[in-house]
Amino acid sequence: MACYTPIDNLPLTGETPFTDFSRWKLTYTADGGHIWKYLTDEELVETPQTTVERFWLGLPMGTKALPAADDGLSAARNGLNFLKKLQVEDGHWAGAYSGPMFLLPGVVIGSYVTGMPFKEEERLEIIRYLFNRAHPVQGGWGLHIEGPSTVLGITINYMSLRILGVPAEHPIMVKARGALHKLGGATHAPQWAVFWMCVMNVYDWEGCNPIPPEFWAMPDWVPFHPWRWWIHCRQVYVPMSYLYGIRWATPENDLVLALRQELYVEDFYQIDWPSQRNKVAALDLYVPHSPLLNFANVLLGAYENCAIPPMRRMALDVVYKQIVYEDDNTGYQDLAPVNMMMNAVVRYVVEGPESEAHKRRMAVRADSMWVCEEGLFVGGTNGSQLWDIVFITQAMVESELGMEEENRESLLKALQWLDMCQIKQDPPFMKEGYRHPSKGAWPFSTRSQGYTVSDCTGEAVKSVIYIQEHVPGMPKLVSERRLCDAIDILIGMQNDDGGFSSYEKIRGPWWVEWLNPAEIFGDIMIEHSYPECTTSVVTALAIFTKYYPHYRASDIKRVTHRAVEYLHEGSDTRRCMVRFMGYLPHLRNPIRIGKSLACRRNVRYQ
């Protein structure tokens, strides 16, 4: 396949684009999805770039300078005038959702082993992005763009560049390989890197701690059954367990053989793989194994030596159905790019390259790919469309700039997008796929992705009410009934401690965290109550009650009282805010201050 052949004469750095940036164009799906397209000569004439593309690509925007601000309101007006230039025609604001450095490798490796091609321009800008993100001193890559180089970051991003055709002797590769070897080589990788190396056939599955698919065959009442895990954790370990269960690896070829030589400080063929299972570099080991996990791994390792074939086949069937449910529930977008590409590998293995599932995956893969000044990367989801629009519209109304005639069209378009984005029905395989109800909810990104998120729903309810009730002449596009559906969702998400989680209620006991096998992330095994989610829900309920006082009034009062008690007495607000809102410094403090005041004032935030 041409997109995976070696490239000669690559630039030494990624300082300048490897493609013609004037040809990159954003296209949009019906529900606000983003797909970057590289235009032909004819297309460039028919659909030239807009201000939106030029802004995100770092090109001159050709806009007039705004007048100097005399006061805070005029500064805000200037900001809004600039933001309006970045609003997409359908009403939302397109934008990058970057940070993690473990997402792009999953897409590259998953595409390679399943035969999904990249366009040449995509390949070049992916290479350039990784060149630009290489640590300037250490060489290599970390867990995220600001982190130090780690075994996980170097291993999977190095493999990605080699897959895309970068020679092993390119200076960036030589430096990265040296950094990896200083850290002990790929035998010191954490589990998520081990998984992708096993899939690439450059690491033996015997060196991976057990991920048995039989977990999914347990009765639902078992307290550590995967359906009780946090959604991001369980949706990753579903396809992991399938591929582990069959020990699948891509066939050997020249690249695989070369990587076996490049990633290790020892001879690949002399490595004692079982003894590598718990060997993780100190920089990568964020959460050490608990004694309970170590004991479980010993038992599961013994089971793997005598796994019962009929039981394994039954478990694999259960796991495969979960993967299909996830694909069907999300239009093949899946929860995020991590499990999307893992699911892609599983369905390729089971159904083949000519299957409908494989073709549909190729059609949506680009939705999470984004072109920026530094090159092409993969975002944390297929965007942050809903999350961005709710705060922009709330600011427009609260500042009263949305009431000004020149801003009404922008606000109306945003309301129309919010109307479209609300999820109107539950997932088709809600019960079978262990999904939380979604009818009435708003997602983090787009409606087709389809996952209920508590704070996104709360903030969207507030935005809709702000626009429809505070701005004269605005149409009531979102009906009272649909707002009530959203309130039903929120009320149903309260945890026993009074707080609210992200996607679902807490399903498992606290001690399940002791079974966390990821090594690079903490508190991922079960849902947890978060102050930011709780305050979003509380303020949304308060604002809703002002305009619709008769709907579930006693339930709202009860839920609000318990939530405020949680906020005042039962939460470590500082820890949660820093950890979960830390990636949004421009939003964290205003949200925290405004909502804290709302709760202290008997929840009369309006």
DSSP count for the chain of H helices, then E strands: 22, 4
DSSP 159-205: HHHHHTT--TTSHHHHHHHHHHHHTT-GGG--HHHHHHHHHTTSS-G
DSSP 261-315: HHS-SS-GGG--GGGGTT---TTT-SSPPPHHHHHHHHHHHHHHTT--HHHHHHH
Q: How far apart are CA 244 and CA 312, in angstroms?
A: 11
Given the residues 204, 426, 455, 485, select the one marked as catalytic: 455
Tokens of 193: 């890197």
Tokens of 266: 């020892």
514 Rama sector, left if φ>0, alpha if ψ -120 to 50, beta otherwise: alpha
Residue 370 DSSP SS3: strand
Q: Are 381 and 337 in contact (CB under 8 A)?
A: yes
Count of alpha carbons within 13 Å of 112, Cβ hemisphere only? 29
Nearest CA among 436, 438, 445, 432 for reference residue 390? 445
Q: Are 456 and 516 in contact (CB under 8 A)?
A: no
From residue 150, alpha-carbon distances to 112, 163, 166, 523 in Å are 23, 20, 20, 21
Taking the C-alpha atoms of 7, 13, 16 and 21 in order, what is their torsion angle to the nearest 10 degrees?
Answer: 40
State the Cα angle at 183 between 181 and 187, rounded to 5°.
75
State the Cα angle at 230 between 229 and 231, rounded to 5°.
110
Tokens of 397: 């109304």
Taking the C-alpha atoms of 363, 364, 368 and 374 in order, what is their torsion angle to the nearest 10 degrees?
Answer: 10
Return the DSSP state at 552.
Answer: S
Q: How far apart are CA 14 and CA 120, in angstroms?
A: 16
Amino acid identity for residue 353 in this structure: P
Q: Buried b / exposed e across 269-287, counting CB within 10 Å, b at 16+?
A: eebeeeebbeebbebbbeb
Q: Are 173 and 160 in contact (CB under 8 A)?
A: no
Q: What is the CA radius of gyration of the chain?
A: 25
Task: Specify whether 334 is catalytic.
Answer: no
Question: At a CB cut-off of 8 Å and minimum separation 6, what does 462 contact?
Answer: 390, 394, 539, 540, 543
Residue 429 DSSP SS3: coil
> What amino acid positions are annotated as catalytic residues?
455
